[in-house]
Structure 1
Amino acid sequence: MHLEAEPQKLPGTRASSPVEASALEAGSRYQQVAIDDLLQQRPHEDIGVSTSQDYRYQAEITASFCISMLTKPQLVEVICEWHEDIVLRFGSPQPALELVSVKHRTTGPWPSISLLCEKGGLAHLFDRWMAYDQTARVRVCTNARLGGSEKDPSPRLLGLACQDGDFTSPVRALLVTHVAWGIIKAAKKKDLSLIPTKDVSIPKPDQWHDPTGLPMYFEDQVKEFLRALRLDCGRPDKPHAADVHIRRLVEPALRETGLPVGIAPDVYKALVDEIAAACRDEDGNPRDLAAFIVDPFANRATPLFREILARRTINKKRIEAILDAAQVGKTHAPLLPSGTRPPRAPGGRKMRSKMADASIDEGEQENAANLRDLWIDTWPRVSTGFPEDIQTLYTLELEILDIVREVRVELSESPTEPFGPRFQVALHRAIKKSRLSDMGGLPLSHHHLIGFAYELSDLCKFRFTRLSSATS
């Protein structure tokens, strides 16, 4: 699954002389200006179900690109709802744009080229690509797989061809013709102004291998489009998008940048909310209200578009502001996610027996039982249900047992008795200092993790006595 864009290395980007380097730099500046001019164009207005639904999912896919900017410096801006669902702007190896269409499919794979063009957004993406003078890369992001056979023109074969760029073999060459007819068919149902449909009769799908009747040069344009296309399949379904992105994108990005992983859920929610707000139509709300009050007539055509574009653009600086706010505003994990005291958990007898053997009084045993109850009640409520939970739980277990060993060795050097109560106090203190609650990326406090430690004791992972008398 592709979770961030990796621009391809373009030929000729390495200059072999100062003169060539200067020419390359000038060309890069020219291309940057050309991209600026493209982005300043007013996008076509989309009306209807195709653009009013699935906005939250679109915002979550947009967030996956935005968070990648923290670790992938070649991606410099993500623009929301401007010409396409998402526009990615790259700064290296050359200034470049990528138009991204986001499509969620409820059940099954994309079964046909026709459906991929109409419902999968391929025709709409082609129309917007045509407006960009064929300078942009293009991508479809979808949760669904590509169906069909590799031996016939199908979405699956199209995905393979786009991946390796081979459209020359007999079967793959037919893909271009099939996609061309699929785009024409979809354009007849939609307002896609740059696709020629007038006086074009569409044959039945089983005759789409024949290009006869396609507009002149249209097949060549489609081939160029497909060479720029990536089919980014296997994105998470709607119910799982947030958890997958938090675990696989936000948490690794925070670790790499040296920030506490515990803020990951807050960062992700704030980022998605920011994107959702950026996607809203706020043409009537100038960004710089003071400037508008001083000179309301200055806010016309191009300046207005710049204002709208700025509102819809997420860059690294904007993401870093979200990170700063999340760190400042981070609240402690709720002690009781259920809102009520946890019920008495089954088991616990072995833990109490070990504490009694270490001369820990009954009051402290009861306190330990309460913390164990808290852990057993909380973990199922805050865990995500994904395979990463197993790794998180196992890592926490290893870390807690390491703390147990360190505390026991440190205290065993002193002959002071009784050992058990001192071990219990030192264990609590060490878990609090460890900040393990930040490591998991889950809403857990040190109280929950101390409760987990007591559960590990009940599972016979450790005792509360000195090393010399400790047995499993």
Structure 2
Amino acid sequence: MDTAAEVVAAVPAGDDAGARTADLYDWQAAMAAVDGLRMYVDALDHEGQLRPNAAGQVICEHHEDWTLVRQPDAELVSCKHRELSSGAWTTIPMLVDKGGLAHLFGRWLALDEKPNVRLVTCAGLAAGLPRKLATATNLLRDEDTGRSLDAAALAAIEEITALFARELLFHRDGLPKEWQAPADAKAKTYVVLDDHIVKARRFLAQLVIEAPRPNRDVIAHAAPTMFAGPAVQKIGAPEDACSAVWEAVLQLFRARMRARGPREYGDLPVVFAASPGSDSATSEAATKGALEGRIVDLNDIDIAIRVALRNPRGYMPLSVPAQHTRLSVKMARGGCSETSIARAEQLRTAFKRYRRERDTSAPGAIAEQRNLERHLMRIADDATHIARAPTGTWGTPLWHSLTQLLNDASTAEWLDGLDDDLALGGICDLTAQCQIWFSPYFDVKAEMKRLRGERVDSRDIA
């Protein structure tokens, strides 16, 4: 290696933190865009037009990662990414700390307990206390609507509420003084006061845990169909406009997350806002000016979408030649969509990374791996039995059956903390080993050779 260019390309980098940070920032903007699109679709009339009286805003990076406002209501949203290799949220302390529930609780207290609250995450909730916490929030909302709960449900709520309140008291960081246990207190013996339990119960009744959403590895492939699709369909636009619409809306949120949205007065200062004789309108304008660059309203989204529909090619990513793997070729033969195939490849990569991170030299690790493969093969066998069709194109039904079976509560018992997506990645890995099929058997190597030849021919023609 004689030149600087050769050295830069050949020597491995010390870390890749910059790219990962950019990915996480973009993922968070994408999740805010999802909520914005949901509010937008709700505001469309039966002809696909924005209702004249429709009102709704997403205020980015305000109190929490974003805040949804639809007068007179507001909802604080905390958004937490978790790598596939890390698995599901396995404990309540993990949700309180790393999952951001403590910070969400603190902001809820500071805002007089008025907003609704929501946690958005790409990781699932492990069996046990995390899922019981989510169940408790649903039961509390049912109770608020007038539904009577049986003794078992009330006992479960009481148990979870006490555990959650104790974790908040011992979290300490960032919470008010009255929500900090004494420095010499022990968590196991500390008695939670009734006032704390009442507040925690009230918070949980307003909490929604939304999990899982697509992670940063698959969001670019999944979002156009999953999230822009409903808007495109309701507007009456062609289906192939989904990617352009998604990118246009995402660009809005990328800018607003950095408070870089347009403002009516640009960088001109606010004058007379603090004068004794200033009226409330001037003060309100000053407050609005501070947040204006962070706000996405329904009209912003509508304009972005209409512009994208008029010029979709301006929002389309540069095409990249397809990589033909055994997994992608088998799924394509079975009729799976490009989005499903891209997600499958990502999940397989995540599963292989997860398996490498577990020390296979540890006693019992090989047996544990073989046991997991047997369980995955059983799930795949059951799903194939459900989805198999005489036409030979049962790939999409099989993919959905696998997802449903892995989400089933009885399946979680043997996952032992393994995320549903990681388990699906394990099935994708077995597919790449030609143990699972999405169509009748065919010569995979010959098909891959044929597809590579077609790609070469197409390049020659171009």
Query: Which residue, 160, 163, 169 being the options, matches 2:135?
Result: 160
Tell me how far 1:123 sits from its aligned partner.
0.5
Aligned equivalents of 1:305 and 1:62: distance in 2? 22
Structure 1 unaligned blocks of 5 or more: 1-50, 343-375, 389-393, 395-454, 456-472
Give percent identity, aligned residues only.
26
Aligned equivalents of 1:168 and 1:383: distance in 2? 40
Structure 2 matches for 1:422-461, cutoff 5 A? Answer: none
Residue pair 2:59, 2:291 contacting (<8 A) in 1 also: yes
Number of residue equivalences? 292
Tell me how far 1:273 sits from its aligned partner.
2.2
Aligned to 1:280: 258
3-state DSSP class of the match of 2:90?
coil
Residue pair 1:144, 1:234 contacting (<8 A) in 2 also: yes
Residue pair 2:169, 2:181 contacting (<8 A) in 1 also: no
Q: Alpha-carbon deviations, 1:114-165, whole Å to 9, x = none?
A: 111000011011001111211121111111111242xxxx111111111222
Tell me how far 1:288 sits from its aligned partner.
3.2
Structure 2 matches for 1:196-235, cutoff 5 A? Answer: 196-197=179-180, 199=182, 201-204=184-187, 207=188, 212=191, 214=192, 217-235=195-213
Query: Which residue, 104, 115, 131 being the options, matches 1:136?
Result: 115
Aligned equivalents of 2:209 and 2:105: distance in 1? 13
Aligned equivalents of 2:68 and 2:130: distance in 1? 24
Query: Which residue, 239, 247, 260 being the options, matches 1:261?
Result: 239
Aligned equivalents of 2:292 and 2:318: distance in 1? 42
Aligned equivalents of 1:216 and 1:383: distance in 2? 50
Letter of the 2:239 partner, please give it: V
Letter of the 1:103 partner, please give it: K
Aligned to 1:385: 341
Letter of the 1:191 partner, please give it: G
Asked if residue 331 in structure 1 is aligned to residue 308 in structure 2, the reply is no
Cα distance change, pair 89–170 in 1 and its aligned pair in 2 (3 A): same
Asked if residue 86 in structure 1 is aligned to residue 66 in structure 2, the reply is yes
Aligned to 2:31: 61
Letter of the 2:264 partner, please give it: D
Q: Alpha-carbon deviations, 1:278-326, whole Å to 9, x = none?
A: 12146xx992347927x75659975443113222121210001101221
Structure 2 matches for 1:230-241, cutoff 5 A? Answer: 230-241=208-219
Letter of the 1:124 partner, please give it: H
Letter of the 2:245 partner, please give it: V
Aligned to 2:73: 96
Residue pair 1:196, 1:215 contacting (<8 A) in 2 also: no
Higher-helix-fraction structure: 2
Aligned to 1:118: 97
Residue pair 1:147, 1:155 contacting (<8 A) in 2 also: yes
3-state DSSP class of the match of 1:79?
strand
Q: Alpha-carbon deviations, 1:405-457, whole Å to 9, x = none?
A: xxxxxxxxxxxxxxxxxxxxxxxxxxxxxxxxxxxxxxxxxxxxxxxxxx9xx
Query: Which residue, 157, 161, 165 being the options, matches 1:180?
Result: 165
Aligned equivalents of 2:315 and 2:286: distance in 1? 43
Q: Alpha-carbon deviations, 1:322-373, whole Å to 9, x = none?
A: 012212332289999458xx9xxxxxxxxxxxxxxxxxxxxxxxxxxxxxxx
Aligned equivalents of 1:178 and 1:321: distance in 2? 47
Q: Alpha-carbon deviations, 1:218-245, whole Å to 9, x = none?
A: 2211110011111111111111123322
Higher RCO by CA contacts (8 Å cutoff, separation 6 or greater): 2
Tell me how far 1:112 sits from its aligned partner.
0.8
Aligned to 2:445: none
Aligned to 1:308: 290
Cα distance change, pair 382–318 in 1 and its aligned pair in 2 (3 A): same
Cα distance change, pair 194–121 in 1 and its aligned pair in 2 (3 A): farther
Residue pair 2:249, 2:305 contacting (<8 A) in 1 also: no
Residue pair 2:244, 2:313 contacting (<8 A) in 1 also: no
Aligned equivalents of 2:212 and 2:136: distance in 1? 17
Structure 2 unaligned blocks of 5 or more: 1-20, 44-53, 141-148, 275-281, 323-331, 345-392, 394-453, 455-462
Tell me how far 1:383 sits from its aligned partner.
5.9
Aligned equivalents of 1:57 and 1:262: distance in 2? 23
Cα distance change, pair 200–219 in 1 and its aligned pair in 2 (3 A): farther
Aligned equivalents of 2:252 and 2:42: distance in 1? 20
Q: What is the CA RMSD across the aligned residues, in angstroms?
A: 4.2
Cα distance change, pair 255–79 in 1 and its aligned pair in 2 (3 A): same
